[in-house]
Amino acid sequence: MSDNIITTRFAPSPTGFMHIGNLRTALYSYLLSKSQGGKFILRIEDTDQERLVEGAEDVIIKTLEMTGLDYDEGPGIGGEHGPYIQSERKDIYKKYAEELIDKGFAYRCFCSAERLKSLHDDAGIGGYDRHCRELSREETEQKLAQGVPYVIRQKMPLEGSTSFTDEVYGYVEVENSELQDQILMKADGFPTYNFCHVVDDHLMGVTHVVRGNEYIISTPKYVLLYRAFGWELPKYVHLPLLMGRDEEEKVSKLSKRHGAVSFQDLVEQGYLPEAIVNYIALLGWCPKDSNQEMFTLDELKQSFSMEGLSKSPAVFDYEKLRWFNSEYIKKLPDDEYNEKALPILRDVCPEYIDTEKLAALLHSRISAFSDIPDSVAFVTSRADMELSLYANKKNKTTPESCLETLEDVLPLLENTVSWDNDTLFVVLKEYAASKEKKAGAVMWAVRIAAARQAVTPGGATELMEVFGREETLSRIRQAIDELRA
């Protein structure tokens, strides 16, 4: 292989959104090369024209950009092995397919669609019967002259077996008699994935093929292609499936019924790209000699190695992702955090709410930005509440003691001019001292009256500051009325 530098690629087909499993493949492929100063290539595999989805390519590129998986060569940026979109490389493959025909490793198949269909039973099972495999040169020439459309098929050996050693799964061997004479070039002139990815991986100098294990069973066919061309085989790194767990604890391939499965959906739900990357890095890989869980992309590049890859399927755990996300939100600098949190808060909060102060209270308390509207519901409306909330064991409060406190502090607060946390704290503390009450008991009464719920982000005076003067006083008056009734 060209200059011995580790070269990996991510080779998605633009068929829709970016599944988390695909993103993990991209990440591992990226890390494998970057952990060793190698090269990472993005290649778009769009030769199956029927499966193309408009805009899917942009989604791929955007996702790699947002996650920081920078590629050294690829669409848009180019490189020495371009173009990087397979439909733009269409002319390259034909020559290689013909080389295989010349060498006796492939043949033209002129069978009509009807004939092929008749080979399949109703369930669609049944393979190609190799009808055209031994066509004579004359027969072939004649059909070509008549313009009969054809595909090019790989001529599989009829005996023996083919094997390779996967870096994750180990030794894999199949009987050649089980291998179909698969199509390499279709009648429309486009190559199949089975063919063009091999040509491209070779031409692009890919040293390690990292991909999902659904390809492991076909890999012997690709090995035969490399041998037919006399090319050096890349190393294969097949990755186990990503699984999801349903409500009945049943584990199956991660799909929509488990929750969001695309990168975009997770981002829309308020997960940070860094948190997603960190979490999925651990779904099938773990560091060699440590229990470290928090990794930046740079740290992953330092720590990643193939020995840490596992062949057991990993189960995607949304709770665990939430935990990672909350850690990453806590670490966000205030300006970046505010940039995300404030628009949401401004959208749901009445004008008198100090959204910046509220945002600060939530910074260490949310697991996803999408939690914000629910977590501030007590600010945006006044829910019905049980008066029993005023009773608190630790602070020895009862609804009656709270009523007394609220009746006392209302005039004090009405006379408080500067409405900020520090001032309010002093007012309430001095009141508590003057009545020989526990400060905690006073704070409890005021906080419950203001928030109307037991658990709140922030203490009594912080919340009073968020609500502002009028709203706080109005809530305390309402609480007094309710407690009196």
Tokens of residue 311, six digits: 């062949």
Helices (H), 218-272: 219-229, 263-268
Q: How far is the CB of 12 from ligand GLU (least distance, A)?
A: 5
Q: CA-CA distance, 460 to 386, in Å (whole number)?
A: 18
Query: What is the rounded distance in angstroms from the CA atom of residue 380 to the CA atom of residue 377?
Result: 5
- In sequence order, which residues have a C-beta less than 8 Å from that of residue 452 and are 6 or more positions away? 378, 382, 383, 385, 389, 475, 479
Residue 86 beta carbon to ligand GLU: minimum distance, rounded to whole angstroms: 9
Biggest distance spanned by C-alpha atoms of the chain: 112
From residue 377, give the alpha-carbon distance in Å to each of 5, 59, 442, 453, 458: 55, 34, 24, 10, 14
- Minimum CB separation of residue 234 from ligand GLU in Å reads 10
Binding-site residue total for ligand GLU (CB under 6 A)?
A: 8
Nearer to ligand GLU, 195 or 431 (CB): 195
The residue number with the shortest CB distance to ligand GLU is 211
Q: Which of residues 102-161 bind ligand GLU (CB under 6 A)?
A: none
Q: Is 7 in the site for ligand GLU (CB under 6 A)?
A: no
- Residue 99 CB, nearest distance to ligand GLU (Å)? 21
Q: Taking the complex as a whole, how short is the minimal distance between the CB of residue 116 and ligand GLU, in angstroms? A: 24
The answer for residues whose C-beta is within 8 angstroms of residue 285's C-beta and 6 or more apart is 28, 304, 308, 309, 310
Stated length of the chain: 485
Q: Pick one of 8, 12, 183, 483: the residue that binds ligand GLU (CB under 6 A).
A: 12
Give the list of residues 6+ apart from residue 65 with CB closer than 8 angstroms, or none. Answer: none
11 binds ligand GLU (CB under 6 A): yes
Residues 6+ apart with CB under 8 A from 233: 164, 223, 226
Contact region for ligand GLU (CB under 6 A) — 6-14, 417-425, 428-436, 459-467? 6-14
Q: Least distance to ligand GLU from the beta carbon of 83, Å?
A: 16
Q: How far is the CB of 172 from ligand GLU (least distance, A)?
A: 16
Place of tokens 């939530």: 362
Given the residues 103, 117, 256, 396, select the one marked as catalytic: 256
Scanning 8-16, 176-184, 336-344, 440-448 for contacts with ligand GLU by CB under 6 A, the matching segment is: 8-16
Structure tokens at 79: 């490189």
> Which residue, 234 or 457, is less far from ligand GLU as judged by CB?
234
Helix (H) / strand (E) containing 163: strand 161-166
242 lies in the site for ligand GLU, by CB under 6 A:
no
| Footprint of ligand GLU on 16-55 (CB under 6 A) | 45
- The nearer residue to ligand GLU, 232 or 249, going by C-beta atoms, is 232
How would you list the strands of the sheet with 242-245, edge to edge? 251-253, 242-245, 314-316
Of the pair 45, 327, the CB lying nearest ligand GLU is at 45
Asked if 240 and 314 count as a contact pair (C-beta separation under 8 A), the reply is yes
Stretch that binds ligand GLU, among 5-13, 121-129, 305-313, 440-448 (CB under 6 A): 5-13
Closest CA to 484 of 383, 406, 420, 417: 406
Q: Which two tokens stand for residue 398?
A: 């009862």
The residue among 8 and 461 lying less far from ligand GLU, judged by its C-beta, is 8
Active site residue 256: yes
The stretch among 11-19, 123-131, 266-274, 316-324 that binds ligand GLU (CB under 6 A) is: 11-19
Closest to ligand GLU by CB, 155 vs 208, is 208
Q: How many CB atoms lie within 10 A of CB 131?
A: 14
x-marked contacts with ligand GLU along 166-195 as a string, rule CB under 6 A: ---------------------------x--
Q: Using CB under 6 A, pick the residue from 19, 24, 89, 197 that binds ligand GLU.
A: 197
Closest to ligand GLU by CB, 213 vs 338, is 213
The answer to whether 211 contacts ligand GLU (rule: CB under 6 A) is yes
Beta strands at 314-316 and 242-245: parallel, antiparallel or unpaired: parallel
What 3-state DSSP class applies to 171?
A: strand
* Binding positions for ligand GLU, 212-241, rule CB under 6 A: 215
Q: Residue 20 CB, nearest distance to ligand GLU (Å)? A: 14
How far is Cα of residue 449 from the mean position of the Cα atoms in its chain?
A: 42
284-298 burial by CB neighbour count: b if 16+ within 10 A, else e? bbebeeeeeeebebe
13 near ligand GLU, judged by CB under 6 A? yes
Quick check: 8 binds ligand GLU (CB under 6 A)? no
Minimum Å gap between C-beta 233 and ligand GLU is: 14
- The residue (of 21 and 287) whose beta carbon lies closer to ligand GLU is 21
Measured from the CB atom, the residue of 197 and 258 that comes closer to ligand GLU is 197
Residue type, 121: D
Active site residues: 256
Residues that bind ligand GLU (CB under 6 A): 11-13, 45, 193, 197, 211, 215
